[in-house]
């Protein structure tokens, strides 16, 4: 089974021919060159492919996307504000390595204990919140200069020192 990574959402339709504005967290301006399809989660863990006809850069965090079969403004509006996902290989190819979203799939380690794999990254002004599954529940782990010890990109691990009591709220 393919693994999918959320990169952003279709924020708006653009023009009259069904173009969409993709707001993304890939960390760089991109036309998504070479990308054949994006995915939208139709149901939990059921991803529908949408094939790309053309793309162009709007800004650092936005790309215009024209999808096959979406030819009117009304058809494009149905896809807003849906989240957009990429398969793992495409995610790795199109994400800037220094972008916080590149931490998806990394494990968070606190005092030699593997807390879980990062399934979502939420960027905030002074910190990054990483969502993991901890004791069967979604837990938000803050990553900022006071809690971060080191990042091991080779082994996909983030070492942190979490504040006392943070994990107890998820027990």
Could you report the per-residue pLDDT of 23-48, keeping only the tens digit for each?
Answer: 998 888 888 888 999 999 887 778 99
Would strands 148-152 and 137-143 be described as parallel, antiparallel, or unpaired? unpaired
SS (H, E, C) 45-66: CEEEEEEEEEEEECCCCEEEEE
Would strands 46-57 and 62-67 be described as parallel, antiparallel, or unpaired? antiparallel
| Lowest-confidence segment of 2-6, 18-22, 135-139 by average pLDDT | 2-6
Confidence of residue 78 (pLDDT cuts 50, 70, 90): very high
What is the pTM assigned to this prediction?
0.73
d(CA 131, CA 108): 10
Looking at residue 1, its pLDDT comes to 52
Instruction: Tell me what the mean pLDDT of segment 7-21 comes to.
Output: 93
Could you report the per-residue pLDDT of 46-65, keeping only the tens digit for each?
Answer: 899 999 999 999 988 899 99
Looking at the DSSP bridge assignments, the partners of residue 148 are 160
Identify the structural domains of the chain with CATH numbers, from first to last: 4-95 (2.40.30.60), 101-170 (2.30.30.240)
d(CA 134, CA 71): 43
Residue partners of 128: CB distance under 8 A and separation at least 6: 100, 103, 121, 122, 142, 143, 144
Tell me which residue of 158, 154, 156 sits closest to 141, measured CA to CA.
158
């Amino acid at each position: 089974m393919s693994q999918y990574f959320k990169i952003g959402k279709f924020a708006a339709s653009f023009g009259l021919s069904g173009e969409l504005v993709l707001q993304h967290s890939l960390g760089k301006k991109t036309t998504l060159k070479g990308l054949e399809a994006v995915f939208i989660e139709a149901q939990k863990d059921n991803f529908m492919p949408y094939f790309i006809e053309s793309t162009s850069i709007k800004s650092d965090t936005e790309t215009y996307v024209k999808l096959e079969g979406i030819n009117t403004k009304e058809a494009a509006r149905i896809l807003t504000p849906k989240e957009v996902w990429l398969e793992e290989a495409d995610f790795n190819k199109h994400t800037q390595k220094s972008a916080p979203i590149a931490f998806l799939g990394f494990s968070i380690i606190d005092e030699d204990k593997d807390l879980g794999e990062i399934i979502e990254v939420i960027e905030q002004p002074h910190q990054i919140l990483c969502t993991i599954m901890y004791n069967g529940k979604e837990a938000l782990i803050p990553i900022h200069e006071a809690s971060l010890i080191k990042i091991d990109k080779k082994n996909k691990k983030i070492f942190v020192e979490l504040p006392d009591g943070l994990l107890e709220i998820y027990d």
